Amino acid sequence: MKGIPVEFCGEGSACREAALRAYRSLRDSGVIDRHAFEAAVRVFRHHHPETYPLQARHIVAEWIAPDA
């Protein structure tokens, strides 16, 4: 899902940073990728409960691997 709408946390926003921090800290401590990703999605949805789960997954996935 390229082209995340502006209302979904641009670069440097607290929401984006919190989700990425959750993902990276869990990965750094040995948590498998899938579980770290799910935690990051939960952080994102905490900030944006209005988003659909699939939409949240796409947004966080793009943040984690923007060139994928």
Model pLDDT for residues 53-68, shown as the tens digit of each residue? 999 999 999 999 877 6
Let me know if residue 28 belongs to a domain: yes
Structure tokens at 66: 């923007």
Let me know if residue 19 belongs to a domain: yes
Let me know if residue 27 belongs to a domain: yes
Domain that holds residue 25: 14-64
Mean confidence (pLDDT) of the chain: 87
Distance (Å, whole) CA 46 – CA 23? 15
The four Cα atoms 59, 11, 28, 39 give a dihedral, to 10 degrees, of -40
The share of the chain scoring above pLDDT 90, in percent, equals 66
The share of the chain scoring above pLDDT 70, in percent, equals 87
- CA-based radius of gyration for the chain: 11
CA 35 to chain centre: 12
Let me know if residue 9 belongs to a domain: no
Let me know if residue 32 belongs to a domain: yes
Let me know if residue 44 belongs to a domain: yes
Question: What's the domain count of the chain?
Answer: 1
Average pLDDT over residues 18-26: 97
